[in-house]
Copies of this chain bind each other. A is one copy, B any other.
Amino acid sequence: MNLPKKVSITDVGPRDGLQNIKTWIPTETKLAIIDGLIDAGMKKIEVTSFVHPKSIPQMADAATVLQTVKQKYAGKVTAVALAPNLFGAAKAIELGADEITFVVSASEKHNLENTNQTIADSLAALKKVCEISRHLPVRLVVATSFVCPFAGKVEPEKVAHVVEAGLLAGAAAEVALGDTVGKAHPLQVEKLLNYLMPRFPHVDFILHLHDTCGMGLASILTALNMGITKYEASIGGLGGCPFAPGAAGNIATEDLVNMLHQMDVETGIDFSKLVNVARMIDQTIPLSVNGHMLKVYN
């Protein structure tokens, strides 16, 4: 085994996790989760999404969440906001987001379902977002990088196309590969990284996996051995996928941090504090926690 000494984790729970919970989560709960994550040592958090409240009412308080985080923790945490379009990106930038997340699917069918536009149109929108964001990094997430809930297995060529076009459009050299439905397996992760890494040697690839089939940590182990040092995870394993029945949330941040610490890989995160955040979520939003570690330390 050839593990890196240190990895960095972005918690996407406040966005990817909470947007998939059907009940309204009060703004103060969202902020308490973010407080807990920052207290545990999390340096980068995807705090909200500037999506239209009609599409995802769970994120209707995006402005308040982002502004509060920026006021409270300016310079202490990188506050990432997802923007699905130019309008959302302009709003996020205006309110002080440190980075913008922009999602384009590798699968045409999923992109149409998710954004109501073609991949080409999404890439054109990404270009405009990069233009208005100027020095602010725009993080491209390639959704359905492994499996599409509509079209099945996604070939590496399709992912590479979105990565290449996204970089040309101005996205940051830090691209997340999203396993939107949580069916990627370790061999597929190895194959995709083997395909992408030599083609884009200056890009840091980030893994954003869901844990639908229980293979999430096995896939991360594979990526660790290939030198990938950036991961996205969701406190408590919050979340799901609206287009994939049975799809689970992201890999639980506490499960990932536990495995890494056990194997002496540093994360800069205080594991006990992290589990306390998962516990608080479990007590506040019943049945929302999918991770394993809370059960061990409950």
In this complex, which of A187, A212, A214, A259 has the most chain B Cβ atoms within 10 angstroms of its Cβ?
A214
Scan A215-239; emit 1 where CB is below 8 A from any B CB, else 0.
1111011100000000000000000
The answer to whether A221 and B255 touch across the interface, beta carbons within 8 angstroms, is no
| A295: nearest chain-B partner, CB-CB | B246
The answer to whether A297 and B246 touch across the interface, beta carbons within 8 angstroms, is yes
Interface hits, A37-74 → B, CB 8 Å: none
Scan A283-298; emit 1 where CB is below 8 A from any B CB, else 0.
0000000011101111
C-alpha gap A259/B221 in the complex (Å) = 14
The answer to whether B214 and A255 touch across the interface, beta carbons within 8 angstroms, is yes
C-alpha gap A212/B214 in the complex (Å) = 12
Partner of A217, one of B190, B212, B218, B247: B218
Given contacts A186-B263, A248-B295, contact A214 B211 (CB under 8 A): yes
Partner of A211, one of B1, B222, B292: B292
C-alpha gap A117/B234 in the complex (Å) = 45
Chain B residues near A168 (CB-CB < 8 A):
none
Q: How many copies of this chain sit in the oligomeric assembly?
A: 2
| A264: nearest chain-B partner, CB-CB | B187
Interface membership of A208, Cβ < 8 A: no
Chain B residues near A114 (CB-CB < 8 A):
none
Interface hits, A236-279 → B, CB 8 Å: 245-248, 252, 255, 258-259, 262-264
A116 to chain B, nearest CB (A): 27
- 28 A–B pairs (Cβ distance < 8 Å), ordered by A: A1-B186, A1-B187, A1-B190, A3-B187, A183-B262, A185-B263, A186-B221, A186-B263, A187-B262, A187-B263, A187-B264, A211-B214, A212-B296, A213-B259, A213-B292, A214-B255, A217-B217, A217-B218, A218-B220, A218-B259, A221-B221, A221-B222, A245-B296, A246-B295, A246-B297, A247-B296, A248-B292, A248-B295
Q: With contacts A1-B222, A218-B259 known, what are 14 further pairs, Cβ within 8 A?
A: A1-B190, A185-B262, A186-B259, A187-B263, A187-B264, A213-B292, A214-B214, A214-B292, A215-B255, A215-B258, A217-B218, A221-B221, A221-B222, A246-B297
10 shortest interchain CB distances as A-B pairs: A214-B292, A185-B262, A218-B218, A246-B296, A187-B263, A217-B218, A218-B221, A214-B255, A246-B295, A213-B292
Q: Could you tell me which A residues sit within 8 Å of B by CB distance?
A: 1, 3, 183, 185-188, 190, 211-218, 220-222, 245-248, 252, 255, 258-259, 262-264, 291-293, 295-298
